[in-house]
Each structure stands twice: as structure tokens, then as C-alpha cells.
């Protein structure tokens, strides 16, 4: 609530005609997390699309013929058929594809914002093929426009130009030119995206569009259904998680339970208070050495989750003194050694996929068999200091459950946790048998998002 008050007060204090100032002020008062900025930016662009401002500008500059219509339409509530833009640009859209490409190229080469904006406008009119009234978020339009623009070629051309002719064998210069070109093309992409969004707002109004473009925050993304971009985002978010985890663990380890009283030290300190032991000194605590056994399903049904959890295992294993990791499909293999001395989690994951011997039979996950194998080989090493983490969806392909193995593990270990990447409502549907194992686990947790994972890890330590 107090954030709303702050935002309102901020609006009183500033010059409202300055768009970027309004945006920054709202961001400063409403958003309190750097990772949430992109979401805020999108929302701001949707609700404060600068159509009316822009048309005023256009009128002043006398540049765009359609500016006048647009202004009226904006005043009428922006519910028109969304044609005004198209018509506005209509006069000049007789450009050929080649001319448009040249226009874009020149705008990017000179870093000319105004020209870039016009070119983006042109490109969207030409290629996006926007249909008014369709309840979409614009990703498809963006894709269509970008595909037609052949950005790869454009990027290539740009990097060639900024490279001096003599430098062709200079790797560094070439790399710099390439990165510069890429940055400019990114600028173009952002511009096109903005253009599309503005048109959509004009077409359907901000409220409706906000619904279609609403994106989940990174920590709320569903791991199982993340697309490639989102997956990259997740892995990006996972890295600070492991660092945070490390900080928290170190802190907790240091603070938890002081050791017994250190008599010698206490007496020494008491000298300054005349022999009265005011300041008690304690021996440093004996470090606990928790052991963690991670058993992860890496079969196809949970592939993306598995990749994600393996990253987590890597993070954990750098923090605890003893982590042993196992992966299985229908066979089970220990992969602890593959994590050792590897800095980059993706490398470890790649090695696991290549080297681990996890398929014993037909390559369909068989939890019962995997647990049996684990029990045969390793059960006698599990002690009261061990925590067992099982990661998987418990979709057993109608094999035997062998839940008694888990029961025995629970008896031996300090705790057994099961992390299930499926939503709770899917549990025990089809061939999922999670509830056959559940009675023997200390906890079965739905773990679909980074937030849930973080909560669990916090509890665990």
C-alpha cells in the first residue's frame, strides 16, 4: 500500500510531460527487484503507450500525414479498427523490399533514432500482416516481421561496413564490429517490438493487451513448460540462487549453536572485570558434516526439469562437504565424479547425458528398479547424517513401485524428501504413483518454479 502512496506522491513532485521521468519514478516507487524490471517495462509500454504524445510531436514536425486522424482516434478511446497507422504510412509504403532494407541499414549504420523509428514503422506495416481485433500478444507479428527482414544479413552487412578494409585478419577488430552490429540490430528489434505493441494498444486498448502480454516473473516460470528463452532466463536466475544459498549456508553454519564454554578463554577475559566472568566465551562449534544423496530421474518426461535440477545439484555440491548424486531412467548410475572440479554446470550436465549409464532395459523410467539398485549398492552407506533427495514425477510406466525400499531408506536416513515437478492436481493420475511413495517420505513437495525450489532449499538447510 505504501508503495502506491509513494507513487502518487512522486507523480505530484515531477513534471508529468516528461515520459521517461514518469517511467523512472514509477519504477523507483513500485518495483523493488531488478529482475522484475523487464515485466514493469512491458506493462508501462502497454499502459502508457505514447501514441497521443507522438501524434502531437508529429503534428508539430508536420511529418506524418496520418497524425491528425490518429490524434482524434486516440481521443475517441482508441477502439478503432487499427487502420489509421497503416493508412498513415500508406503513402510511403510503396517502397520495395530492397529500399526498405536499405532504409533500415542506413538508419542502423548512422545510429539515427528517428530514421530507425520510421523504418521500423514501415517494416511492421509491410510484413507483420496485423489483423485487427485478434486477441494476441504480438509475438507472432514480431516473428513474422523479423523473419522477413533477414536480420542475419543485415547484421553481416553492418559489421562489414564498420570494419576498416585493412583489418580483415584482425580477430579482435572483427569481433568488436560484430558485437557492435549485433547491438544495433537488437535496437531495431526493440523498436519493432515497441511499434507492434503500440499498434496493438491502439487496436484493442491497453487493458485487453495487458492480459495477453502478461508474462510470469522469472521465479514463477513453470520449469516443465519453459521454452528456450525462458529456460535461459531460468538458468540465469539459478546462478544467483546458488550464490545466495552459499551465503545463507555459511551464515547459518557459523551462527548455529555455540560450542561448550571455553573455560580458559572466559577466565582470561574475566580479568578485565575483576575476576567476574561477565563475558562468556565459547568454543567454536564442531562443524556438522551433512551428507546429501540426490537421486534424479533424467528420463524424457522430465527432461527440462532434470536439466534444471542438475544445475541445482551442482550448486549444492559446491556447498556441502559431501554430496553424492545419482541419476536414473530404468538403470541407476552414480555421477558424483562428473560434478567434481567442474565450474560450469552446463558442462557437467552435458557430461552426464553423454557418460552416465542409466538405461538398463527399454529407456522408460522405472522407479522401482532404480530404487532397488540404489538400495542394493548404497543403502549400507546411508546413516542418520544423510539426507536423501529424490527428484522426479513418479511416472513409473506401470512398473512395480517397490515403495518398501523408500521405507527402508527413511528408516536409515535423517530425512527423505521428494521433489515433484508436476502440479499437485496431476499427482496419481495415469501412471503417476507418487502417493505410494509419499507415506515413506518426510515430505513430498511440488517443485515447479524457482520460487518453490528456493523455499524448499531454504527449509532444507
What is the Rg, in whole angstroms, of the alpha carbon atoms belonging to the chain? 30
Is 77 or 275 the residue whose CB approaches other proteins more closely?
275
The grid coordinates listed for 448 are 515447479
Distance CA 382, CA 401 (A): 21
Is 6 or 230 the residue whose CB approaches other proteins more closely?
6
Least spacing, CB of residue 112 vs other proteins, in Å: 14
Nearest to 55 by CA among 85, 23, 10, 94: 85
Residue 293 DSSP SS3: strand
Least spacing, CB of residue 406 vs other proteins, in Å: 34
Nearest to 209 by CA among 133, 284, 146: 133
Nearest to 58 by CA among 47, 69, 48: 69
Contact set for other proteins, span 331-360 (CB under 8 A)? 343
Least spacing, CB of residue 34 vs other proteins, in Å: 4
Give the strand pairing for 443-446 and 415-420. parallel
Q: Does 2 bind other proteins (CB under 8 A)?
A: yes
Q: Does 114 bind other proteins (CB under 8 A)?
A: no
Least spacing, CB of residue 36 vs other proteins, in Å: 10
Q: Does 25 bind other proteins (CB under 8 A)?
A: yes
Q: How far is CA 288 from CA 91, 256, 317, in A?
A: 76, 10, 15
**Binding-site member from 76, 77, 94, 172 for other proteins (CB under 8 A):** 172
Q: Does 251 bind other proteins (CB under 8 A)?
A: yes
Least spacing, CB of residue 21 vs other proteins, in Å: 5
Least spacing, CB of residue 284 vs other proteins, in Å: 14
Is 153 or 243 the residue whose CB approaches other proteins more closely?
243
**Binding-site member from 60, 171, 276, 354 for other proteins (CB under 8 A):** 171
Element (H, E) at 328: strand 322-328
Contact set for other proteins, span 28-57 (CB under 8 A)? 28-29, 31-34, 37
Least spacing, CB of residue 48 vs other proteins, in Å: 15
Q: Does 244 bind other proteins (CB under 8 A)?
A: yes
Kindly report the three-state secondary structure assignment for every residue of 197-262: HHHHHHHHCHHHHHHHHCCCCHHHCCHHHCCHHHHHHHHHHHHHHHHHHHHHHHHHHHHCCCCCEC
In 27-60, which positions are buried (b, 16+ CB within 10 angstroms) versus exposed (e)?
A: bebbbeeeeeeebeebbbbbeebebeebbeebee
Cβ–Cβ under 8 Å, residues 194 and 113: no
- Segment contacting other proteins (CB under 8 A): 24-32, 55-63, 208-216, 321-329? 24-32
Q: Does 176 bind other proteins (CB under 8 A)?
A: yes
Least spacing, CB of residue 30 vs other proteins, in Å: 8
Task: Give the per-residue contact string, 223-242, with other proteins (x = CB under 8 A; - = no).
Answer: -----------------x--
Residues lying near other proteins in the complex (CB under 8 A) are found at 2-3, 6, 9-10, 12-15, 18, 20-21, 24-25, 27-29, 31-34, 37, 170-172, 175-176, 179-180, 183, 240, 243-244, 247-248, 251, 255, 343
Amino acid at each position: 500500500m505504501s508503495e502506491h502512496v509513494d507513487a502518487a506522491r512522486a507523480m505530484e513532485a515531477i513534471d508529468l510531460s516528461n515520459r521517461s521521468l514518469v517511467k523512472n519514478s514509477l519504477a523507483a516507487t513500485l518495483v523493488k527487484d531488478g529482475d522484475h524490471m523487464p515485466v514493469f517495462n512491458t506493462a508501462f509500454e502497454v499502459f502508457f503507450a505514447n501514441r497521443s504524445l507522438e501524434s502531437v510531436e508529429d503534428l508539430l514536425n508536420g511529418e506524418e500525414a496520418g497524425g491528425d486522424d490518429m490524434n482524434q482516434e486516440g481521443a475517441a478511446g482508441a477502439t478503432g479498427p487499427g487502420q489509421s497507422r497503416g493508412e498513415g504510412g500508406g503513402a510511403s509504403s510503396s517502397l520495395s523490399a530492397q529500399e526498405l532494407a536499405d532504409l533500415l541499414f542506413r538508419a542502423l549504420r548512422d545510429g539515427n533514432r528517428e530514421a530507425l523509428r520510421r523504418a521500423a514503422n514501415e517494416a511492421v506495416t509491410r510484413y507483420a500482416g496485423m489483423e485487427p481485433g485478434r486477441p494476441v500478444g504480438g509475438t507472432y507479428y514480431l516473428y513474422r516481421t523479423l523473419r522477413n527482414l533477414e536480420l542475419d544479413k543485415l547484421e553481416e552487412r553492418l559489421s562489414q561496413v564498420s570494419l576498416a578494409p585493412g583489418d580483415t585478419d584482425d580477430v579482435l577488430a572483427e569481433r568488436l564490429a560484430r558485437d557492435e552490429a549485433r547491438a544495433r540490430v537488437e535496437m531495431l528489434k526493440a523498436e519493432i517490438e515497441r511499434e507492434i505493441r503500440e499498434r496493438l494498444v491502439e487496436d484493442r486498448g491497453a487493458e485487453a493487451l495487458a492480459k495477453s502480454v502478461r508474462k510470469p516473473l522469472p521465479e514463477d516460470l513453470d520449469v516443465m513448460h519453459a521454452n528456450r528463452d525462458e529456460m535461459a532466463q531460468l538458468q540465469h536466475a539459478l546462478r544467483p540462487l546458488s550464490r545466495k544459498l552459499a551465503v545463507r549456508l555459511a551464515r547459518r553454519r557459523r551462527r548455529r549453536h555455540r560450542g561448550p564454554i571455553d573455560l580458559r578463554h572466559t577466565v582470561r577475559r574475566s580479568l578485565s572485570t575483576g575476576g567476574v566472568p561477565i563475558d562468556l566465551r565459547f568454543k567454536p562449534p564442531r562443524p556438522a558434516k551433512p551428507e546429501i544423496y540426490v537421486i534424479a530421474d533424467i528420463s524424457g518426461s522430465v527432461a527440462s526439469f532434470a536439466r534444471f535440477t542438475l544445475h541445482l545439484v551442482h550448486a549444492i555440491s559446491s556447498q556441502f562437504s559431501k554430496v553424492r548424486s545419482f541419476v536414473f531412467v530404468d538403470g541407476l548410475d552414480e555421477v558424483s565424479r562428473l560434478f567434481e572440479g567442474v565450474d560450469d554446470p552446463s558442462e557437467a550436465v552435458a557430461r552426464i547425458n553423454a557418460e552416465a549409464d542409466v538405461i538398463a532395459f527399454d529407456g522408460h523410467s522405472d522407479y522401482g528398479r532404480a530404487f532397488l539398485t540404489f538400495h542394493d549398492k548404497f543403502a549400507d552407506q546411508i546413516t542418520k547424517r544423510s539426507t536423501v533427495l529424490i527428484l522426479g514425477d513418479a511416472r513409473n510406466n506401470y512398473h512395480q513401485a517397490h515403495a518398501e525400499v523408500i521405507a527402508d531408506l527413511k528408516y536409515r536416513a535423517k530425512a527423505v524428501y521428494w521433489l515433484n515437478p508436476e502440479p499437485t492436481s496431476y499427482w496419481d493420475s495415469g501412471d503417476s504413483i507418487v502417493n505410494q511413495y509419499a507415506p515413506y517420505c518426510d515430505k513430498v513437495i511440488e517443485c515447479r518454479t524457482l520460487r518453490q525450489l528456493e523455499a524448499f532449499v531454504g527449509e532444507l538447510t
